[in-house]
Amino acid sequence: MNNNATTTHLPPNQSLDTDSSAQESPMTNDVLKNSELLDDNQPALDEQLHDDASSEEVLLPDGDADDIDDGDIDDSDDDEPSVSGPAVPVAIELTHTVTEDQSGLRIDKVASLAFKDFSRVQIQGWITDGSLLYNGSVQKPKVRVKADDVLHLSTTLEQHSEDQPENIDIDVVYEDDDVLVINKPVGMVVHPGAGNQTGTLVNALLYHYPQQHHLPRAGLVHRIDKDTSGLLLIGKTKPAQMALMEQLKDKSVYRHYQCVVAGDKASLTRHRHIDAPIGRHRNQRTKMTVMTAGREAITHLLKVTPLNGNYCLLDVGLETGRTHQIRVHLSHITYPIVGDRVYGGRRQLRAGLTEVQRQTINNFPRQALHAYTLGFVHPTTGEDMEVTTPLPEDMQQLIAVLSDGYDAE
């Protein structure tokens, strides 16, 4: 687990005041809880990733698609579905002790309640073929159970998937029996797609958490673009994944981002709330743009911290979730994110730069955007959770160069 990351259990309806150099008190939950929904129902997934996704997207395994948030999804990752790979055997070993309130129910009913990741038809088949034992013996599905009886499921599933396990290191920020939060590094694609069949976060998850193989996209709830760093939320069981996706849909999940932009504090402060609809560019289909016919998109600049007279560090929250929303909105108001080759262009270079600063900006290899705070309601305990992780080293170095010699006073 990342020792620099912070996980906080919050009282109901209360956000954590994370005090970094670029942060101020978080927005109220009505603003913070941004949803970013991605349909993970193949083959509709790949089209949905383009139409409703943002840099982070929600993957809905059963086709419950909606909006998604932020601003840096790599559309090229999802241009076409992958071809299914060979069957992968996944061993299942689960045990459940019957509770008092389950006493008197049928074996198949209790097993369905206990082993929620599987259908009742699967469970009935396992009871019949002896894969699911009742107190160590094979019984019929209709047998009634008693408190403290034991159900044990031992079977192997053959999972056909294009996503194969790979031994790739991952940075686990938070983990329990139901939820996993990963700090994704720059350069890692979240899930396999056209041109990115291997080396993705999903491939890594399937290696370190083989039980995730039966979950859509290995339990992913949303995603961020290859060149954006930061926190990703993952369900470890199907009920947890579905519950978290519902939270994204009803905006009870929130995320904060930090980014370095070309713009002065006074000008950026006049744009604390950017309300401009976003749609797909008519000619460049991998790009998004502000357009009258687009979908509602609202971005909040929570805090503006000057690095020098013409560059600032922003703390950003999303009220809506559109593809590339942060990047498009900041470019639209003429203050693009440093390193954004798609939406930034020459406007990244402002007056008054030293030669070192100019070269640092020119050479920065990716959009300087990081998802540093993730808040959600725990799908099992109901606790308000907030996880934070610091800025990556490349952004810290960029900030140090841009603020060198600057006196805010």
Of 261, 269, 262, whose CA–CA distance to 352 is shortest?
A: 262
Separation CA 302–CA 17 (nearest Å): 12
Of 39-48, 193-202, 252-261, which has the strongest mean pLDDT?
Answer: 252-261
What pLDDT is attached to residue 147?
Answer: 95
Question: Does the pLDDT of residue 17 top 60, yes or no?
Answer: no
Query: Cα separation of 8 and 267, whole Å?
Result: 34
* pLDDT on residue 26: 38
Give me the catalytic one of 39, 67, 78, 225. Answer: 225
Three-state DSSP class for residue 162? coil
Tens of pLDDT, residue by residue over 83-113, are 334 455 667 889 999 999 999 999 999 998 8
Res. 253 pLDDT band, cuts 50 70 90: confident
225 catalytic residue (yes or no) = yes
Q: Is the pLDDT of residue 255 over 90?
A: no
pLDDT band at 409 (very low <50, low <70, confident <90, very high): low
Give every CB contact of residue 37 below 8 A, 6+ residues apart in sequence: 52, 57, 58, 60, 64, 65, 66, 67, 68, 245, 248, 249, 321
Give the pLDDT score at 406.
83
The two three-digit tokens of residue 111, written as one number:
């097993």
Residue 194's pLDDT is what? Answer: 58
Closest CA to 344 of 23, 72, 34, 36: 72
Q: What is the mean pLDDT of the chain?
A: 79
Question: What percentage of the chain exceeds 90 in pLDDT?
Answer: 53
87 or 234, which is more confident: 234
Residue 105's pLDDT is what?
Answer: 95
- Which of the two residues, 409 and 361, has the higher pLDDT score? 361
As a whole number, mean pLDDT of residues 242-268 equals: 91
pLDDT of amino acid 155 = 86
- R_g of the chain computed on alpha carbons: 23
Is residue 71 pLDDT above 70, yes or no?
Answer: no
Name the residue with tokens 């019929």. Answer: 140
Instruction: Please give the DSSP secondary-structure letter assigned to residue 21.
Output: T
pLDDT at 315: 97
Strands 150-160 and 288-290 turn out to be unpaired
Name residue, tokens 């289909």: 285
- With a cut of 60, say whether residue 300 has pLDDT above it: yes
CA dist 185 → 119, 224, 231, 406 (Å) = 36, 10, 9, 29
pLDDT of 223:
81
What are the pLDDT digits (tens) for 322-360?
Answer: 889 999 999 999 999 999 999 988 889 998 899 999 999
The whole-number average pLDDT for the span 57-66 is 33
CA distances from 123 to 130, 131, 149, 178 (A): 10, 9, 17, 21
pTM value?
0.67
Count of CB atoms situated within 10 Å of the CB of 409 = 2
